[in-house]
Structure 1
Amino acid sequence: MFTPLAKLPYRHVLTLPTDPSAVRIARETAELTLNAWGIGLRHPTVDPALLILSELVTNSIRHAAALSPQVTVIYGASRDRLVVAVHDAHPYQPPLEKPIDDNDGGGLATIKELVLDLGGTALVRPDTPAGGKGIWITLPL
């Protein structure tokens, strides 16, 4: 189920250049933001969420930078839910069900499997009118 951002009491948006340093900055910002919201870094959902976030930002840098000079990371939370979304301006919407390929480490398929194992949801949404897409991850807390 997709959780609209407006329904979450905690929200933070971060826009970064599609540069390798964006992965570290997005992850560190997530840690600081979650901590400020009272979600401890030892919560069992946090490590998988940070791994997923890192992978999504890395994918935007590797695959979308030519058409997307920036990547936007959205963090949101409620008492029982954590949402992470990564938006870029590249129009390609990758399927989350892509088979795991030994050459690329499985990327989005691995993310989806991890999300499902945690009882969460993952979806790719077109980002109109910008023409890009956002990959939204929702995890239970």
Structure 2
Amino acid sequence: MAAQAAGLPLRHVLTLPTMGSAVRLARETAELVLAEWGVPARHPSVDPALLILSELVANSVRHAAALSETVTVIYAASKDTFAFAVHDRHPHQPTLYGAHAASPGSGLGTVVELTHSLGGTAVLRGDADGGGKSIWITLPL
């Protein structure tokens, strides 16, 4: 999971039970770490990042809780980049792009569209054992 953040000097990891309160706690933690890292709350990438993060954690809670007791969020940043990953241990790996991608207007489709509209990237990385995945979002600051 941490390989994607290797080039970003600022990091924070949060692991929570896969339950509804994880969405709020992941979002609040993002606000705290961004402020600690000197990213102003009014920066144009902050609100969209919080929305994207909330949707990804909610998806893990909604779809992965039966097989994944926890959801882990990795936050990482540099002076010009904010990245985060949402990881769970459910084996389903949704398609982010192409013909089988989540449809526009769906939660995951909206995440990908919003990320791209901000000049960012969305990448799905499966666990080596096939038993889970991380969705990495990278946004410019």
Scaled by the length of structure 2, the TM-score of the pair is 0.92
SS in structure 2 at match of 1:79: coil
Aligned pair 1:98/2:102, yes or no?
yes
Computed over aligned residues only, the root mean square deviation of the Cα atoms, in angstroms, reads 1.3
Deviation at 1:130, TM superposition (A): 6.8
SS in structure 2 at match of 1:16: strand
Q: Which residue of 1 aligns with 2:120?
A: 120
Once the two structures are superposed, what CA deviation does each residue of 1:37-95 show, in whole Å capped at 9, x if it has no partner? 00111100000000000000000000000000100001000011110100000010011
- Give matches, 1:46-65, under 5 Å: 46-65=46-65
Q: Following the alignment from structure 2 to structure 1, what is the Cα–Cα distance between the partners of residues 129 and 91?
A: 11
Deviation at 1:99, TM superposition (A): 1.5
Matching residue's letter, 1:122: A
Q: Which runs of 5+ in 1 are unaligned?
A: none
Q: Which runs of 5+ in 2 are unaligned?
A: none
Aligned pair 1:43/2:43, yes or no?
yes
Aligned pair 1:68/2:68, yes or no?
yes
**Aligned pairs, number:** 135
SS in structure 2 at match of 1:33: helix
- Give matches, 1:24-43, under 5 Å: 24-43=24-43
